[in-house]
Amino acid sequence: MLSSPDLSFSRSLPLVVFNQLGKLLQQMAQSVESSVLVLTEALLARIIIPEEWQGQRFTLVVSEQFSALLLGTCEQGSRGAEAQRSRGAVEELNTSLTFSSEAIASFVGKLKDLFASNSDTYQNLEYYSQILRPNDATLQSQFTLLLLEYLLPHKNEQATEALIANQGENFCQAIEIALQKQISQERLLNQVTTQIRKSLDLPLIMATAIAQVRDFLKLDRLVIYKFESARVNTQNSTLKAQNSSQPPIQDWQKYGGCIVYEAKATDAIPSVLHSQEANCFTRHSVCWDKYRQGFTLVVEDVEKTYALEECLLNFLRANRVRAKLAAPIMFEEKLWGLLIAHQCDVPRQWNENDSNLLTAIAEQLAIAIHQSELMRSLTQEKQTLEQRVLERTMALRDALLAAEAASRLRNEFLATISHELLTPLTYVIGMSSTLLRWPIGELSQRQRDYLQTIHDSGEHLLEMINDILDLSQIEAGKTVLNISEFSLAHIGENAISALIDKATEQQVNLKLDLQIDPKRDRFSADAERIEQILWNLLTNAIKFTPEGGSVTLRLWVEEDTAIFQVEDTGIGISEEQLPVMFEKFQQLDTPYRRRYEGTGLGLALTKQLVELHRGRIEVESTVGIGSIFTVWIPAQSIKVLSEE
């Protein structure tokens, strides 16, 4: 095979001439008999372009017979170039054309570095870099003749002058069309935004939005692609929107995602609803990072952009996709899916307005998804809360039934105890009292001591049983107050009289301090229960007061409240025991427990009786000094009251 010498040139050329040179190279590639690779800057659309590649345009032809590299650099950058190209302006490119296999191999090596994460693209580039050879002389001569024709000065001048003339004639018309399109675009975006604000129906929002955008951009097809990792479940909504079945979620996880919404221009365009890109598009794809960072993918011709991606290219051909525009849908800073525009049969030169509109619509759809997810979460939380309330209600009902059953059993048990214990205790106490009254000659002193022990134990047991019964009745809400008028002084005197012998026996000085105006001596309450309160407090004080000590009962009235105060000089109560002293079965700790017997029910019952009168009780106590119990009882109405 004959070879040609390396030829190259570098000069500034108008964009229109640069594009014609690129087309010429592609025509030459079609005449090459061996395997040939043709790449343009469209290949870079799928990746985040590094800074040094910004504004870079190229056409690369690689084969064993003919290879060439056309490079063009725009000093204004890629965005400036796109903007000027969309307006039809004349643009000068710093252009170079080379046939050097070394220079071409170096350029292919740089491309390989860009696609190092994509194995298929990298391997294809590696293959073609290895088959580079000097160009066939015949093909090189053929291209040289064509190149000389295109590079003639009058050709360039004619093309430039024609372009400028055409631009001048259509300048005003182009501006008017652009403004009208901008207004229509803003109106469309406002319609979508308004619908999202007014509705929480995600299927309706999605279906309506893609139908309106497809019609506005005159697209062949507009779809929404959802990744399997997206949190929002659109299975039911897709069924409603498209009235068709959808693959189960586990199939999505196998293939990476699925198209869940679709809008087509005509029925002749094949449907891609529920289509999956199999293994072609995965999270390791070169454009995954581009989507994840919020960039929109612009593909004007899939044949050029996916020239090295055989799997994806075949998939797109099978579904009649020639050009596409894909905007990411981001939800909670994660890639939820893609809004993808399809042109089916011919390439399409997407302009900046197309890309901006699709990006804005994708952002609004993300808001709709967020609203739908919030509503789903709220509904789920509501259902969960309702279920919990139902479960708690059932549990409380069961607990209430169990408590009622336990209360019923307790009442039955107490009734049985009342009958089975009180009756024999009455006989024990009565008969022992009778025997104690017999003449001294009939019984020995030891026998009398035994009888006295029996009598006292019976009295103690009877007192304990009565306390338990009273406490149970109060807790069951069955205790009633028999309200009547009585004399407070009389109540105090009766309490002292009933316990004076007990106090004298223990050598405790029991005193009554009445601070009551005789005119205010009348009081309304349950006299029997008031006496029981005073009895419990005084007996407790006497029990814990050593010999030589004193116990004082004070009574006075403040407004409509009677105040009873029992002060002793006994052993006192520790600070740690004060919070629990009114609880049931609470007794002093050792060593006092063995010395001072008791059930620990007296103070608990006293507190219940005070609260039954809607009063309160407080205690002040110091260890080794004594205690002061103060009870406030408000005057009651003259009627029978029951515990609420």
For residue 418, what pLDDT is reported? 67
CATH code, 404-473: 1.10.287.130
pTM score, whole prediction? 0.56
- Asked if residues 476 and 550 have their Cβ atoms less than 8 Å apart, the reply is no
For residue 508, what pLDDT is reported? 93
* DSSP per-residue codes, 250-265: HHHHHHSEEEEEEEES
Amino acid at the residue 155? K
Beta pairing, strands 550-558 & 561-568: antiparallel
Task: Find the range with the poorest average confidence among 242-246, 378-382, 440-444.
Answer: 242-246
Residue 177, by phi and psi: left (phi above 0), alpha (psi -120 to 50) or beta? Answer: alpha
Q: CA 306 to CA 411: how far, in whole Å? A: 88
Q: CA 406 to CA 414: how far, in whole Å? A: 12
> Token digits for 362?
């994708």
User: Higher model confidence: residue 451 or residue 237?
Assistant: 451
User: How many CA atoms are closer than 13 Å to the CA of 214, on its beta-carbon side?
Assistant: 23
Nearest to 287 by CA among 115, 150, 142: 115
Say yes or no: do domains 404-473 and 479-642 share a fold.
no
User: Higher model confidence: residue 123 or residue 171?
Assistant: 123
For residue 230, what pLDDT is reported? 56
For residue 350, what pLDDT is reported? 92
Q: CA 447 to CA 459: how far, in whole Å? A: 18
- Whether the per-residue pLDDT at 528 is higher than 60: the answer is yes
pLDDT band at 598 (very low <50, low <70, confident <90, very high): low
User: Higher model confidence: residue 624 or residue 619?
Assistant: 619
pLDDT band at 142 (very low <50, low <70, confident <90, very high): confident
pLDDT band at 617 (very low <50, low <70, confident <90, very high): very high
Task: Find the range with the poorest average confidence among 70-74, 206-210, 600-604.
Answer: 600-604
pLDDT band at 82 (very low <50, low <70, confident <90, very high): very low
- Give burial (CB, 10 Å; 0-12/13-18/19+) of 328: buried
Q: CA 159 to CA 18: how far, in whole Å? A: 12
> Token digits for 280?
């072609």
Q: CA 423 to CA 245: how far, in whole Å? A: 82
> Token digits for 307?
């020239």
- Whether the per-residue pLDDT at 369 is higher than 90: the answer is no
For residue 266, what pLDDT is reported? 92
Q: Which residues of 153-182 are buried (b: 16+ CB within 10 A; e: fewer)?
A: eeebeebeeebeeeeeeeeeeeeeeeeeee
For residue 441, what pLDDT is reported? 64
Q: Alpha-carbon dihedral of residues 94, 100, 105, 106, nearest 10 degrees? A: -50
The residue behind tokens 């869940």 is 260
State the DSSP code for 62.
Answer: E
Q: CA 529 to CA 609: how far, in whole Å? A: 7
For residue 616, what pLDDT is reported? 92
- Whether the per-residue pLDDT at 601 is higher than 60: the answer is yes
Q: Tell me yes or no: is domain 479-642 CATH 3.30.565.10.
A: yes
pLDDT band at 80 (very low <50, low <70, confident <90, very high): very low
For residue 153, what pLDDT is reported? 53
The residue behind tokens 């199999």 is 278
Task: Find the range with the poorest average confidence among 133-137, 555-559, 601-605, 639-643.
Answer: 639-643
248-264 residue pLDDT tens: 333 434 446 788 999 99
- Whether the per-residue pLDDT at 154 is higher than 70: the answer is no
297-316 residue pLDDT tens: 899 999 888 888 888 888 88
> Token digits for 247?
């693959």
Query: How do the domains of the chain map onto residue ranges?
Result: 8-151, 180-376, 404-473, 479-642
- Whether the per-residue pLDDT at 505 is higher than 70: the answer is yes
11-43 residue pLDDT tens: 888 888 888 888 888 888 888 877 888 999 888
Q: CA 137 to CA 126: how far, in whole Å? A: 25
> Token digits for 549?
């000590």
- Whether the per-residue pLDDT at 502 is higher than 80: the answer is yes
Q: Is the dihedral of CA 637, 638, 643, 644 positive or negative?
A: negative
For residue 202, what pLDDT is reported? 85
Query: How many residues are recorded in the chain?
Result: 644
For residue 580, what pLDDT is reported? 79
User: Higher model confidence: residue 2 or residue 614?
Assistant: 614
3-class DSSP state for residue 16? helix
For residue 285, what pLDDT is reported? 63
Q: Tell me yes or no: is domain 180-376 CATH 3.30.450.40.
A: yes
Nearest to 523 by CA among 480, 492, 554: 492
